[in-house]
Amino acid sequence: MSERSTVPRERLGALLRAMPKAELHIHVEGSLEPELIFALAERNGVALPYPSVEALRAAYAFSNLQSFLDIYYAGASVLRTEQDFFDMAWAYLQRAAADGVVRAEIFFDPQTHTARGVPMGVVIEGLHRACVQAQSQLGVSAALILCFLRHLSEEDALQTLEAALPWRDRFIGVGLDSSELGHPPEKFARVFARAAELGLHRVAHAGEEGPPAYIWGALDALHVERIDHGVQAAQDAALLARLARDRVPLTVCPLSNVRLRVFPDLAQHNLRALLDAGLCVTIHSDDPAYFGGYLLDNYRLTFDALGLDAGHARLLAANSIDASFAAPTDKARWRAELQTVFERMAIP
């Protein structure tokens, strides 16, 4: 067992759980555990191409982003009713609360569901009800971010945004996810401009598998406020300088990056190098049911693999709060709670 310079390993683990943290990169469809997939398939009379929970889980051996997405969209096909969307989001929020999450900004992919005939209102109302209950029963502040699937057309994204407008007060922003290579951010410039007109926050996946040019494109063509993943920025010194200067957060998902073979293992992840370059890096879970861990697993395993210490813990938790779209009063309260946790645990 290794000892950190200031804090033993067990206390560091307890600190990582106790710290108030914001989860800013979580696809709610990626929180669908195999057990819930099977339960919903049975409830809805949906046939699955896997005989058992174990067989489904055994299929979670991915070689890249696309090999994961194929299985992820198949899993989401069991979602049919408002209650299904509620159950999925509520299961995630309970796990997040247990990990010390005080704020969750949750991605959802409406096109995955509306293309199957599920009405937009069913998706949004089910997820929203879980967010409301998270505040009242768990003390977790939860909000939704509507993501466009980048393998589909911009026209489809524009229609999706318009179709969601009757629920405009139920989501705080838009994002861009799905297959990255071959679908540069510029393809979605008009729909992101429309989102900006509507007063929505804007984020985009960029530089997960794609080149630094896609991160430049997300900044300059989509005017995003955060980059999801962004780890490929390390290849471009001018881009690192831009991200540091403008304090653009990178929502990094270490376990996802290893499972999708962006890095061969956690010890070779560049999260520490990105922090050392002065970037506003945060840690998140991406698709926790598929990638082997929720938020606290991502923190603990990354801290172990990279030898991070209590100073990094404070910085990463503070970054996550600062990078969130929560109200300034909430952010100030969580920052004060973060300070209290360090004082209570007598960690300098």
Answer for which of 208, 222, 266, 281 binds ligand HPA (CB under 6 A) is: 208
For residue 105, CA distances in Å to 144, 147, 149, 315 come to: 6, 12, 18, 19
Burial track 262-294 (b if 16+ CB lie within 10 A, e otherwise): beeebeebbbeebbebebbbbbbbbbbbbbbbb
Residue 140 contacts residue 99 (beta carbons within 8 Å): no
Told to judge if 208 belongs to the known catalytic residues of this protein, a careful annotator would answer yes
Question: DSSP labels for 122-162?
Answer: HHHHHHHHHHHHIIIII--EEEEEEEEETTS-HHHHHHHHH
Q: End-to-end CA distance of the chain, in Å?
A: 22
Nearer to Zn ion, 147 or 338 (CB): 147
Q: Is 287 in the site for ligand HPA (CB under 6 A)?
A: yes
246 is in an annotated binding site: no
User: Residue 65: which of ligand HPA, Zn ion, none does it interact with, CB under 5 to 8 A by kind?
Assistant: ligand HPA
Tell me which residues in 235-274 interact with ligand HPA (CB under 6 A).
256
Q: Is 33 in the site for ligand HPA (CB under 6 A)?
A: no
Answer for which of 7, 16, 27, 157 binds ligand HPA (CB under 6 A) is: 27
Smallest separation, CB 247 to ligand HPA (Å): 23
- C-alpha radius of gyration, the chain, whole number: 19
User: Residue 178: which of Zn ion, ligand HPA, none does it interact with, CB under 5 to 8 A by kind?
Assistant: ligand HPA
312 is in an annotated binding site: no
Nearer to ligand HPA, 12 or 69 (CB): 69
- 208, 209, 225, 343: the catalytic one is 208
Answer for which of 84, 87, 99, 177 binds ligand HPA (CB under 6 A) is: 177
Smallest separation, CB 125 to Zn ion (Å): 24
Size of the site for ligand HPA (CB under 6 A): 11
201 is in an annotated binding site: no
265 is in an annotated binding site: no
- The closest of 242, 237, 178, 243 to 210, measured between CA atoms, is 178
CA distance 281 to 287: 18
CA distance 106 to 47: 28
Residue 253 contacts residue 25 (beta carbons within 8 Å): yes
Answer for which of 40, 258, 286, 326 binds Zn ion (CB under 5 A) is: 286
Smallest separation, CB 284 to Zn ion (Å): 8
CA distance 126 to 89: 8
Q: Is 100 in the site for ligand HPA (CB under 6 A)?
A: no
Residue 80 backbone dihedrals phi, psi, to 5 degrees = -130, -40
Name the residue whose CB lies closest to ligand HPA: 177
How many Cα atoms occupy the beta-carbon half-sphere of 239 within 13 Å? Answer: 23
Q: Is 105 in the site for ligand HPA (CB under 6 A)?
A: no
Nearer to ligand HPA, 33 or 286 (CB): 286
Q: Is 178 in the site for ligand HPA (CB under 6 A)?
A: yes
113 is in an annotated binding site: no
Identity of the residue numbered 181: L
CA distance 285 to 191: 27
The residues that touch ligand HPA, with contacts defined as CB under 6 A, are 27, 30, 65, 72, 177-178, 205, 208, 256, 286-287
Catalytic center residues: 208
The residues that touch Zn ion, with contacts defined as CB under 5 A, are 286
